[in-house]
Amino acid sequence: MLRRTLLATALGALASANGLMAMTSLASAETLVMWGPEQITEPLIAELWNGLKADFEAANPGVTVEFMPPTGTISNGAVQAAIQSNAGPDVILTNSGIARVSMVVDAKLIAPLTADYTSRGWDKQIYPWLYEELKRQRAGEIYEVPDGLDVLGVWYHKDMFAENGWTIPATYTEFLDLMQKIKDKGIMPVAIGPRTGGSAGHLFGNMLQSASGTETVGKALAGELAWTDASMLPGAARLRDLVDKGYIDKQMAGLDLDGASRLWFNKRAAMFVAGPWFTANARKADYDLGNASFTAMPSDLGAGKPTGGVGWSWMIPTNSKQPELARKWIDFILSEPVMKRRAESASSTMLYPRALTGVTPPTPILSEIFAAAENGVGYNPSVYLPAGVVDTYFQVIQGIIGAQITGEDGMAQIDAKMAEAK
Amino acid sequence: MSAVETKSSTEAGEAIARVGHAPGGRSGHRDTLGTAMPLLLPAFAIYAVFSLAPIAWTVWLSFTDSRGLNTSAQFVGLANYQRAALDPLASQSLLHTLQWLAGHLVMAGGLGLVLSLLISRLKRSRIVFRTALFLPHLVSLAVVGVIWANIYDPFYGLLNTMLKGAGLGWLTMGWLSDPLIVLFSVNLASSWQGFGLYMLLFLAGLQNIDHSLYEAAEIDGANGWQRLWYVTLPGLSEVMTFVVSLCLINGLKGFATVFVMTGGGPFYQSELITTYIYRLAFSLQDHGLAAVLCILLSALAITVTVAFNQWRQRAAR
């Protein structure tokens, strides 16, 4: 009896030891959980990222990369909830900009990366002006590594414009005439989906840029100029004017990006303000990208300029279980072969954070967008406004489009929030 | 038994009655409590961890400038309460919440009552209609929001398309963009999901009404409306008070459909207290102000429930 008991105990101890060893072996294999990329369910995007994942794993034996499909953004709290769950990602790729990044920095959810820029050479791997811009935003501390820059302008249908003899004019005054002609044809001149904050901001940012110019908008964003200043008001007044003239249907106040882009893909609307990422939406809607053309919104101040800013960035949560591996992943993403591969992929949807030579954009529309951005881009306020202001900014745009408030009232509300944020 | 023994036993009985029911008196009571406590402890522990502790934490947060779990929160006294009192969005969302509550009561509760009365009159296919009309209740509110947002699409949505097709194009509107009707539109979608449960409760209540009362009313010459007013509705009074309580609670919890369909817009015109709390807590990381509004919402729920129960008790007398 005693012998049997001792034998059973020894066998049990052996089984436990084997189990522990198995667990230890599993634990020594590292897993990097990555939040993103957006639209990972799209076959082209999945193909690219699964390829990148395989290359990283091959270069780092024992490492597995897992994608965590995004359930939202920083703006709607999804990123914050994921990080605070303590079962969240080790590295994040999400929509950025100072407003969004500040939200998670102030909540101490992401780690500073300032030292890594110099120690890992990231400062040499992005545009110098971009590095300076990042350092300026939070008094020298950097919390993100830009993955892509947005370039926002007017998308229009080549065939529609050709059939009707329309061309995008040089000045805003002529642009209004064009919109009247489009409206007379029974087509909506502009579609917008302000229920999606970003979409609202794309059009409004372009209106501000066209009316006030880069320097004035920049000063307003830096808090050096009131949003109610006479030099800033025209953009908002023009947006309300477009609604009053019927060039923007005020029922669009209830539409989101998908609802608005559906109007454009079905050619019920002539123009739509978006960025290079819109190619992914177009592909999903089976729209012929060869028929799309891009231009900066016309301005009376000179040549039109698209707006933009840092669109997407990498961040590392403070509770990342693999902070060093996350940094290695960012090294990998910033490497020349990976960046070129992404830029030449059919799924490419953005401007990269440094100049890439010998790269041919996969679609003609992307060439047009990159060409439009060659002389620089203006500010997309959505990504430059402080965190506490950007929500009011989006709501004001909805209010203007729904004809609930005037442009002046809207700018007064934004200005009040800027004063609070100061 | 002799008179002395009887008196003694009576005195003993009185003595027992004075010190407690259980044999052994006060010590017996303590024994019972001592046995019950360890059995109650696990349930109380779960309640304490998942209800009492979060409530206490929320109250604490309302007195701090917390920006999130990872940040250090400083005590700021009543500053957050002052901010809430002066915040126009807080009062606007409170007003919208009360409107939402009333709307849910009338639309979901009212529709449930009307449909239950109609179904109860059916001679055949009662089960089919009951099941079909209950189905929306099985759909999650988030999915309901997506479905109805598409129905309300001003350009491609089913509603405006049907209206135009029926020659009623003048009735088409921006169901989610018009500030005057956006809250009603979203509430309608939410009520569509909620009425099924109330309908079932009313149906159960109708089955409990004594049929002889209807016969007596018919003999007395009562018409349909009179039978409804004097027999059916009084017979449903208990169920109605229960359904109204449920409507009030569910109405105050309104969040999912608003969040999905409008996000509180356009321009805060459909912002409820619940969506505003979400915006403050998870988008703006202003946990202090969000906590104050949570307490306000709880106070509102308690006030409404207590007031309703008091009215119910007075009405019952």
Q: From residue B157, how far is each of A268, B146, B190 by CA, in Å?
A: 14, 12, 18
Local structure of residue A92 (DSSP, 8 states): E
Sign of the alpha-carbon dihedral angle for B246, B251, B255, B257: positive
Choose among A195, A250, A388: nearest Cβ to B284. A388
Higher pLDDT, A66 or A10: A66
* Threshold 0.90, pTM exceeds: no
CA distance B269 to chain A (A): 9
Asked if B267 and A263 come within 8 Å (Cβ–Cβ), the reply is: no
Band (B2; pLDDT cuts 50, 70, 90): very low
Local structure of residue A42 (DSSP, 8 states): S
Sign of the alpha-carbon dihedral angle for A316, A319, A324, A329: negative
Give the HSE-up count for residue A35: Cα atoms under 13 Å, Cβ half-sphere: 27
Distance CA B256, CA B94 (A): 17
For residues B65-90, average pLDDT: 89
Share of chain A above pLDDT 90, in %: 66
List of domains in chain A = 30-149+310-364 (3.40.190.10), 150-308+372-421 (3.40.190.10)
Beta bridge mates, A94: A313
Of A347-351, B139-143, B248-252, B307-311, the poorest mean pLDDT is in A347-351
8 Å CB contact between A314 and A92? yes
- Of A119, A142, A73, A110, the C-alpha closest to A311 is A73
Start-end of CATH 1.10.3720.10 domains in chain B:
80-316
Counted across chains A and B, CB pairs separated by less than 8 A come out at 107
Band (B6; pLDDT cuts 50, 70, 90): very low
Phi-psi label, residue B60: left if phi above 0, alpha if psi -120 to 50, beta otherwise: alpha
For residues A328-336, average pLDDT: 96
pLDDT in tens, A334-375: 999 999 999 888 888 778 888 888 888 888 999 899 888 887
Measured CB to CB, residues of chain B less than 8 Å from chain A are 67-71, 149, 152-156, 173-179, 182, 262-263, 265-269, 278-279, 281-285
* pLDDT > 90? residue A39: no
pLDDT in tens, B250-295: 888 899 999 999 999 899 999 999 999 999 988 788 999 999 999 9
pLDDT in tens, A401-413: 999 999 999 999 9
pLDDT in tens, B181-238: 999 999 999 999 999 999 999 999 999 999 899 999 989 998 989 989 999 999 998 8
* pLDDT > 60? residue A23: no
Asked if B173 and A251 come within 8 Å (Cβ–Cβ), the reply is: yes
8 Å CB contact between A400 and A409? no
Distance CA A166, CA A147 (A): 36
Domain B80-316, classified CATH 3.40.47.10, yes or no: no
Vertex A257 angle, CA B180 and B287, to 5°:
70
pLDDT in the model for residue B81: 96
Higher pLDDT, B14 or A147: A147
* pLDDT > 90? residue A213: yes
At which residue do the structure tokens 């349909």 appear?
B224
For residues A324-338, average pLDDT: 96
Which residues in A lie closer than 8 A to residue B281 (C-beta atoms)? Answer: 77
* pLDDT > 50? residue B94: yes
pLDDT in the model for residue A321: 95
* pLDDT > 80? residue A5: no
Q: From residue A43, how far is each of A88, A402, B208 by CA, in Å?
A: 25, 37, 58
Asked if B71 and A107 come within 8 Å (Cβ–Cβ), the reply is: yes
Asked if B267 and A396 come within 8 Å (Cβ–Cβ), the reply is: yes
* pLDDT > 70? residue B316: yes
Higher pLDDT, B155 or A362: B155
At which residue do the structure tokens 């897992």 appear?
A66
* pLDDT > 50? residue B12: no
Higher pLDDT, A330 or A36: A330
For residues B65-77, average pLDDT: 82
Asked if B283 and A391 come within 8 Å (Cβ–Cβ), the reply is: yes
End-to-end CA distance of chain B: 50
Asked if B179 and A402 come within 8 Å (Cβ–Cβ), the reply is: yes
CA distance B296 to chain A (A): 22
CA distance A260 to chain B (A): 10
Asked if B70 and A254 come within 8 Å (Cβ–Cβ), the reply is: no
Q: What mean pLDDT is reported for chain B?
A: 88
Asked if B154 and A195 come within 8 Å (Cβ–Cβ), the reply is: no
CA distance A236 to chain B (A): 15
